[in-house]
Amino acid sequence: VSVLTRSGPKADGPTSDGKPDVWFVYWIFPGFYAAFGVIICLLTRVTPPPRPDITTADKIAFFTEHRTTMQIGFGLLLILLGGAAVSNGIVVYHMKRMTVGSVFAYGYLGGMAVGALPGFLLVAACFLTATLRVDRNPEVVGMLYDLGMLSYNGSLGCFSAAYLALAIAILYDKNGIFPKWFAYVSIWQIVTEVIATQMFVFYSGPFAWNGSIAFWWSVVVFSIWLCALIALLKKATAREPADSPALD
Amino acid sequence: VQILEEVQDLPTAGNIKAQWVSLWTAPAVAAVLLLAFIAFPGFWPPMSPQLPAEQVATFYGENTAWIRFSMVTFNLCGILILPFFMVIVVQMKRMQTQSHVFAYCYLTAVVSGATVFALSNIFFLVAAFRPDRNPELVMVLNDLAWIVFIAPVGMVVSQFLLLAIAIYFDDGPNPVFSRWVGHYSLGTAIIMIPAAGAAVFQTGPLAWDGLISFWLRNGAFALFIVVIFFVLRGTLRRQAIEEGVVEESAQ
């Protein structure tokens, strides 16, 4: 079917609008998150998360068993990390197109740009340090395990600040860049971050870092948020007139 | 650049002046950072990842003063390089045949990359704070310091890629940068990618003391700053002349 529609370009339906450079950046967004999903789920095994309530020996066994795939996965992430910047940049761009001006866009940019370090990078550094010498002092390996998992799942405020800026911007915006319901999905993201604070207290159960509420509920909300954002960014990009002036 | 008297109070002149000052912070900051780089005993030659824990602890015990001097300098002055990159952001926002989405992505990448750099020297400094603690602990701090210092290239790589792509998209009659700057930026990005291996390999060119991960990565980044400094100097002069802020002859 796609071949048929391609054979008759612009035959019917709305012509695909938008700016070529914004489209270029747009496609990096799902590409990065697809790669990120493969890295965190299949290669580095941090999602679904390993348990917080295991012995130091089990933590070492975890690093030993998955050492090679962790090194491949986090090694790739260290290279692809910039995809997060690009993914945030296009959201900033569309936020700047709203009637509310630049202030929320810059707030989003700041929160997300700072969040990359505690949210992605520190777990990569910790787990790669652990896998570099799995035979080091077991207590140290165990600490790297906790430090990595708690920074990765427990960096909350940077993203909350960004979600808040996004939600308020959408609610005030009169250009209809994103639909209003997406503001409420973003607010639910903040709620999950607030609940996730409990992972610093619990070793097991629903509020632990692998718990049904602190983790799995967040994953569900995040997945909805991310899929919606990818779809909405596509729409926003397509609806932007190609000849509209560049932003200030 | 001598700004003409009659336009001195106009925003265009203020914009040129701010960029000019930001641009010229780069040589000063670069000189200070180079000094710190030279002063760090662990760079000449770069410390081997294969050093046993006792030798790592001994290194911090014997070189404490120089480690503190160089890493405190990195800490205090490293992020001062940001105004230089902000001149690039402002210039990317002058590109006429595009939406400036690249500039915002670039800005995000610069900020994230800076946070990474700001972290590594803390690990070096904590290791030097009490070199007499359990050598295993000094070693893990040293590992973290080196891995964070060398391996997370993603943000700088995306910076260089975004600049290159923005230059390729800037295909109007009056491009901000010459096309070769895009090729050069792309090349720098590619050269820096393999350094991610520093978090995995303990020997060879990809180890954190290796030819590719240490010398090529850091050399390419330093050279880029030098080259782009001269590129930006020319670009700013052109902008100043186009906007009537300086006279043509001032070039």
Complex ipTM over 0.95? no
Q: What is the DSSP string of A190-228?
A: HHHHHHHGGGGT-SSSTTSTTSIIIIIIHHHHHHHHHHH
Task: Name the B residues in 98-127 with CB < 8 Å from any A CB.
Answer: 98-102, 104-109, 111-112, 115-116, 119
Euclidean distance between CA atoms B145 and B96, whole angstroms: 42
| Chain B positions in Cβ-Cβ contact with residue A140 (cut-off 8 Å) | 136-137, 140
Could you give the percent of chain A with pLDDT greater than 70? 94
pLDDT of residue A16: 56
| Chain B positions in Cβ-Cβ contact with residue A144 (cut-off 8 Å) | 140
In this complex, the residue of B106, B108, B152 whose CB is nearest that of residue A112 is B108
Mean pLDDT over A206-213 rounds to 94
pLDDT of residue B249: 63
Closest CA to B110 of B79, B67, B72, B77: B79
The residue of chain B nearest to residue A88, with distances taken between CA atoms, is B105
The sign of the CA dihedral B7, B10, B13, B17 is positive
Task: Note the pLDDT tens digit of each residue in A150-189.
Answer: 999 998 999 999 999 999 999 999 999 999 999 999 999 9
Burial class (CB in 10 A: 0-12, 13-18, 19+), A173: buried
Mean pLDDT over A210-214 rounds to 93
The total of other beta-carbon atoms located within 10 Å of residue B4's CB is 14
**B127 vs chain A: nearest CA distance in angstroms?**
14
Contacts of B127 (CB under 8 A, 6+ apart): B60, B67, B138, B141, B142, B145
The sign of the CA dihedral B24, B29, B31, B34 is negative
In this complex, the residue of B53, B119, B196 whose CB is nearest that of residue A79 is B196
User: Coil, helix or strand for B46?
Assistant: strand
Closest CA to A120 of A112, A109, A108: A112
- Is residue A247 within 8 Å of A93, Cβ to Cβ? yes
**B10 vs chain A: nearest CA distance in angstroms?**
18
| Chain B positions in Cβ-Cβ contact with residue A142 (cut-off 8 Å) | none
Euclidean distance between CA atoms B195 and A78, whole angstroms: 9
> Where do we find the tokens 């000052």?
B21
C-alpha distances in Å from residue A84, one per residue of A115, B63, B102, B228? 10, 38, 13, 25
In this complex, the residue of B101, B116, B193 whose CB is nearest that of residue A121 is B116
**B141 vs chain A: nearest CA distance in angstroms?**
9
The residue of chain A nearest to residue B95, with distances taken between CA atoms, is A246
| Chain A positions in Cβ-Cβ contact with residue B49 (cut-off 8 Å) | 132
> Where do we find the tokens 């939600």?
A167
User: Coil, helix or strand for B43?
Assistant: strand
Closest CA to B241 of B249, B232, B229, B233: B249
> Where do we find the tokens 């081997």?
B48
Give exposure, A38-66, as e/b (b: 16+ Cβ within 10 Å): ebbeebbbbbebbebeeeeeebbebbeeb
Task: Name the B residues in 33-62 with CB < 8 Å from any A CB.
Answer: 49, 53
pLDDT, mean over chain A: 91
| Chain B positions in Cβ-Cβ contact with residue A84 (cut-off 8 Å) | 112
> What are the backbone angles phi and psi of residue A175, rounded to the nearest 5°?
-85, -5
Amino acid letter for position A65:
E
**What are residue B43's DSSP bridge partners?**
B46
- Is residue B48 within 8 Å of B209, Cβ to Cβ? yes
> What are the backbone angles phi and psi of residue A52, rounded to the nearest 5°?
-80, -20
**B249 vs chain A: nearest CA distance in angstroms?**
31
Euclidean distance between CA atoms A45 and A65, whole angstroms: 11
Contacts of B36 (CB under 8 A, 6+ apart): B69, B70, B71, B73, B74, B77
- For the cut 80, the answer to whether the pLDDT of residue A2 exceeds it is no
**What are residue B46's DSSP bridge partners?**
B43
Euclidean distance between CA atoms A168 and B31, whole angstroms: 44
**B9 vs chain A: nearest CA distance in angstroms?**
21
pLDDT of residue B1: 67
Name the CA dihedral angle for A78, A82, A87, A92, rounded to a multiple of 10 degrees. 140
pLDDT of residue A242: 87
Euclidean distance between CA atoms B185 and B156, whole angstroms: 11
Q: Do the chains contact at A132 and B105, CB–CB below 8 Å? A: no
Burial class (CB in 10 A: 0-12, 13-18, 19+), B194: middle
Looking at residue A16, the DSSP 8-state letter turns out to be P
* Series of mean pLDDT values for 10-residue runs along chain B (251 residues): 78 90 96 96 95 96 96 95 96 92 96 94 96 96 97 96 96 94 97 96 96 96 97 94 79 45
In this complex, the residue of B105, B147, B152 whose CB is nearest that of residue A129 is B147
- Is residue A124 within 8 Å of A77, Cβ to Cβ? yes
B147 touches chain A (CB under 8 A): yes
**A7 vs chain B: nearest CA distance in angstroms?**
27
Task: Name the B residues in 78-97 with CB < 8 Å from any A CB.
Answer: 93, 95-96
In this complex, the residue of A79, A136, A144 whose CB is nearest that of residue B193 is A79
pLDDT of residue A11: 40
**B50 vs chain A: nearest CA distance in angstroms?**
10
Euclidean distance between CA atoms B6 and B14, whole angstroms: 13
Range with lowest mean pLDDT among A112-116, A208-212, B241-245: B241-245
Looking at residue B6, the DSSP 8-state letter turns out to be G
* HSE, side-chain direction, 13 A CA sphere, residue B225: 23
pLDDT of residue A9: 41
Question: pLDDT band at A124, cuts 50/70/90?
Answer: very high
Residue pairs between chains A and B whose CB atoms are closer than 8 Å: 162
| Chain B positions in Cβ-Cβ contact with residue A20 (cut-off 8 Å) | 169
B158 touches chain A (CB under 8 A): yes
